Amino acid sequence: MPKRILCIDDDPFYKDLFRAILEPRGYEVFTALNPAEGWSIASEHKPDLITLDVMMPEKEGMFDGYGLLKRLQEEPGYKDVPVIMISALGDPEDIQHGLKAGARMYLPKQDMTPNRLVEEIKKILGQ
């Protein structure tokens, strides 16, 4: 059974990019455009890993990627699902904040390449 990855980003370009990178490598990819939609999809499909943008518009009480990350960590069935934060915010303080908030990895969008994304996912999933 393929590993399930949920990619949450409010930019349709990145949503499509993640699918184009990951599906040919055998992953089952789900996408969402905001944290509320991401929570709904995570609840339905129980992903093995989540990629999560930081800056997204507020929707249904979840203000950004950190709001969803906090909710995932509070839910027993999801607190062990690894999260890679992928954001345009790439300062060292941003990276530290993401890791302290519970992300397994923080990857600035300007440093992301398809190969790097796949390698990080494989490393985290033990593949």
Mean pLDDT of 7-34: 95
Fold of 4-125: Rossmann fold (3.40.50)
The answer to whether residue 62 scores a pLDDT higher than 70 is no
Residue ranges covered by each domain of the chain: 4-125
User: CA-based diameter of the chain, in Å?
Assistant: 38
pLDDT of residue 59: 63
φ/ψ of residue 110, rounded to 5: -70, -20
The answer to whether residue 56 scores a pLDDT higher than 90 is no
- Mind listing the pLDDT tens digit for each residue in 69-94? 999 999 988 989 999 999 998 899 99
pLDDT of residue 67: 87
pLDDT of residue 60: 61
